[in-house]
Amino acid sequence: MKKGLEEKRTEHPMIRKCLQHLEIINASDKEKQIVYMYMKAMDEEIVALKEKSGN
């Protein structure tokens, strides 16, 4: 999974930091995938809200 995530490094810096911490605590690939999925969805939602509000 790590390789696939490294290919898509356009996400928010906080997502990258979180994934780094997951590496430090030796989280499994499945755990990393779940965390990434939720953080990416949250990031996309925030971006959509900002675009909607015009900021």
pLDDT, tens digit, 9 for 90 and up, residues 6-24? 445 467 899 899 999 999 9
Task: Name the pLDDT band for 55 (thresholds 50, 70, 90).
Answer: low
Give me the pLDDT at residue 4, please. 54
Q: Can you list the alpha helix ranges (DSSP code H) found in 1-55?
A: 2-7, 13-24, 29-53
Q: What would the mean pLDDT of 42-54 be, rounded to a whole number?
A: 92
Bigger pLDDT: 45 vs 4: 45
Q: How far apart are the C-alpha atoms of 2 and 52, rounded to whole Å? A: 33
Q: Give me the mean pLDDT over the 21-39 stretch.
A: 96
pTM of the model: 0.70
